[in-house]
A and B are shown apart, each in its own frame.
Chain A
C-alpha cells in the first residue's frame, strides 16, 4: 500500500510541477491583474462614508461581473458597496456604456467628483 502511495506522490509531484511551469509561462503573457485595483483611486475620497452606491448596467449574475464587484468591495472596505442602490450620498457609476452613466448622472442630478481613465465615475448627490 505504501508503494502505491509513494507512486501517487511521485506522479502527483511531477504533474504538479509541470502544471506550475505552464502557469508561470502563461503569466508572462497574461500578467496578474486585480480588478479591485481600478477602484483604489476612489478610496481616499470616501471621507468616512459608511456606504457607497454602486450603480452599473452590467449583469452581476455573470461570474466575471460578480468578481469585479466583489473585488471593488474588497478594495474599498470598510466602506460598504450597495449594489444598484442610488439612495446614498456617494455613488460609483461603473457602466459599460458611458452614455448611460452620463444619462443616469443627469437624471439624479449628480455632481461628478472624479473620473478614472477606465471610465469609472465617482459622484455625489447634492443635498443628500
Chain B
C-alpha cells in the first residue's frame, strides 16, 4: 500500500508539469494529460531522485521524497497561475474516455498475468536494469560499483532512467522489492496504451482509435517483452511522446509542445544507449524541420535556443553520465580499424537478411506487414503535415542499428541479431502504430 503514494506523487507531478508548460487554450483533454503526465512524472521523480547522487554521492531516500514533495508544491502554485483544471473536474472526461480507460485496463490483464509468471523479469532485468537499481539503492557511496569493468556482462555503459524510476518507489518501502519492478513494467505498458489512444483521439476524435493500443497489446510477443522489465518500451513510449508533441505543435502552433517534445527526447536519451541514438536522430530531424519551415530563421533560432535551455534539465542526467561516469564499453571492437575487414560484408548481409526474416516472423502476428500495407494504402496521406518525419527518423535509426551490428565485431553476428533485433523493433511499435493511424484516418 505504501507504494501508492509515490505513484500518486509521480502522476500528479507529471500532470502539473504539463499544466505549467501548456497554455489552457491549446491544452489536450484530461485523459491524455493524465496518461502523458504519468509518463512525464515517472521521469521527473526519477530525475529529482538522481540529484541525490550529485549532492550526496548516494541515494538518500528522505531527500528524494522531500525534494519531490517540494517540487510538487512549487508546480502546484505555478499551475494555479496557469489555469489549473483538476483531474476529476466535472465535464473533463467524456464517455468515450471512460470506456477507453476500462478497455485498456482489460487488455492490460494478459500483461499482468505474464509478468506474474516471471516476477524477476527477463534476462536483462536481473542482469542489467534491476541490478543497476539495486546498486543505486543499496550501494550507498559504492553505487558506482555498477560501472565496474567486472560487470561488463551487465551493460555498464548504459544509462539508468528505468532503475531510477524503481528506486523512487523503493525510497518509500525501504527495501528493493521485485513487486515494484514488476508493477513498473505494467505501468509503462498502460501508459503507452493510454498515450497512444488518447493522443490519437486528441488528433481525431474517434473511438476507433482504441484499436491502436489494442493492436499492440494483442500481440503475445509484445506482451512478453512489455512485462519483461526491460527499458525498450520506455524508449518506445518516449519516442511516441516526442512524435505526439511534434504533431500537436504542427496542429496547434504552440511552442509549448516543442518544450514537451524536447523534454521527451531528453528523458529518452537517459533510457539506454539505443535511446540516446534515437533521441539524437529525432532531435536532428525534428529540429531541422522546424527551423527550415519557420518564416523567420532568426526568430526560430532564438526560440529554439530558449526551448533547448528550458528542456536542459531533461538532458542533464545524460550529459553528466556521459561526461563524468560512463565507462568505456567493454563490448565494442571497432571492425573498421581492424587489419582484416573481410568480416564486415558478411555481418552487413546477415543483419539485413535477419531484419527481413524478423519483419515477417509469425511471432509478430503479421504486425509489420499490416502496418506497411496500411501506410502504403494511405499513400500521400502518410507523409502529409509533418508525418514524413516519422519514416525519416525510423529509417535513420534502423540504418544506425545495422551500422553498429556491422562495425562492432565483439559479438558473433547471428547470436547478436537473434537476441537483440526483436527488441529494437519492439521499441518502434508505438511510433509505427501512431504513424499508421494518423495516416489512415
Query: Is the beta-carbon distance between A67 and B365 smaller than 8 angstroms?
Result: no
Contact residues in A for B211 (Cβ distance below 8 Å): 2, 5-6, 9
- Cβ contact of B208, chosen from A2, A32, A83, cutoff 8 A: A2
Name the residue on A nearest B148 (C-beta): A80
Query: Is the beta-carbon distance between A5 and B215 smaller than 8 angstroms?
Result: yes
Contact with A along B213-238 (1 / 0, CB 8 A): 01100111001000000000000000
Query: Is the beta-carbon distance between B117 and A9 smaller than 8 angstroms?
Result: no
- A36 contacts the other chain (CB 8 A): yes
Query: Is the beta-carbon distance between A78 and B143 smaller than 8 angstroms?
Result: yes
Contact residues in B for A15 (Cβ distance below 8 Å): 220, 365
- B145 contacts the other chain (CB 8 A): yes
- A45 contacts the other chain (CB 8 A): no
Interface locus among A68-76, A94-102, A104-112, A118-126: A68-76
Query: Is the beta-carbon distance between A20 and B110 smaller than 8 angstroms?
Result: yes
Closest CB of chain B to A56's CB: distance in Å?
14
Query: Is the beta-carbon distance between B150 and A51 smaller than 8 angstroms?
Result: yes
Query: Is the beta-carbon distance between B220 and A34 smaller than 8 angstroms?
Result: no
Contact with A along B130-169 (1 / 0, CB 8 A): 1100110011001101101011011000000000000000
Which A57-71 residues sit within 8 Å CB-CB of chain B? 66-67, 69-71
- Cβ contact of A13, chosen from B138, B142, B218, cutoff 8 A: B218
Contact residues in B for A1 (Cβ distance below 8 Å): 373-374, 377, 440
Contact A73 B365, CB 8 Å, known A9-B214, A19-B220: no
CA distance A18 to B253 in the complex (A): 47
Contact A83 B220, CB 8 Å, known A1-B374, A8-B365, A74-B131: no
Query: Is the beta-carbon distance between B120 and A34 smaller than 8 angstroms?
Result: yes
Closest CB of chain A to B29's CB: distance in Å?
22
Query: Is the beta-carbon distance between A16 and B135 smaller than 8 angstroms?
Result: no
CA distance A70 to B124 in the complex (A): 9
Query: Is the beta-carbon distance between B153 and A66 smaller than 8 angstroms?
Result: yes
Contact residues in B for A6 (Cβ distance below 8 Å): 211
- A40 contacts the other chain (CB 8 A): no
- A103 contacts the other chain (CB 8 A): no
Contact residues in A for B146 (Cβ distance below 8 Å): 77-78
- B119 contacts the other chain (CB 8 A): yes
Query: Is the beta-carbon distance between A8 and B117 smaller than 8 angstroms?
Result: no
Query: Is the beta-carbon distance between B114 and A9 smaller than 8 angstroms?
Result: no
Name the residue on B nearest A36 (C-beta): B126
- Cβ contact of B119, chosen from A20, A32, A69, A78, cutoff 8 A: A32
Contact residues in A for B138 (Cβ distance below 8 Å): 77-78
Contact A23 B366, CB 8 Å, known A5-B215, A12-B218, A78-B142: no
Contact residues in A for B139 (Cβ distance below 8 Å): 77-78
- B123 contacts the other chain (CB 8 A): yes
CA distance A13 to B150 in the complex (A): 43
- Cβ contact of B145, chosen from A5, A36, A66, A78, cutoff 8 A: A78
Query: Is the beta-carbon distance between B120 and A11 smaller than 8 angstroms?
Result: no
Contact residues in B for A27 (Cβ distance below 8 Å): 117
**Interface residue ranges, A against B (CB under 8 Å):** 1-2, 4-6, 8-13, 15-17, 19-20, 23-24, 27, 32, 34, 36, 50-51, 66-67, 69-71, 73-74, 77-78, 80-83, 85
The 3 closest A-B pairs by CB, nearest first: A12-B218, A78-B139, A70-B127
Q: What are 20 residue pairs bridging A and B, where the CB atoms are less than 8 Å apart in the complex? A: A2-B208, A2-B211, A2-B440, A9-B211, A11-B218, A11-B365, A15-B365, A16-B219, A16-B220, A16-B223, A34-B126, A36-B126, A70-B154, A73-B154, A77-B138, A78-B145, A80-B145, A80-B151, A81-B150, A85-B150
Other than the known A9-B215, A78-B142, what 19 A-B pairs have Cβ atoms closer than 8 Å? A1-B440, A2-B440, A4-B370, A8-B367, A13-B110, A16-B219, A16-B223, A23-B117, A32-B117, A34-B120, A36-B120, A70-B154, A73-B151, A74-B120, A74-B131, A77-B131, A78-B138, A78-B143, A80-B145
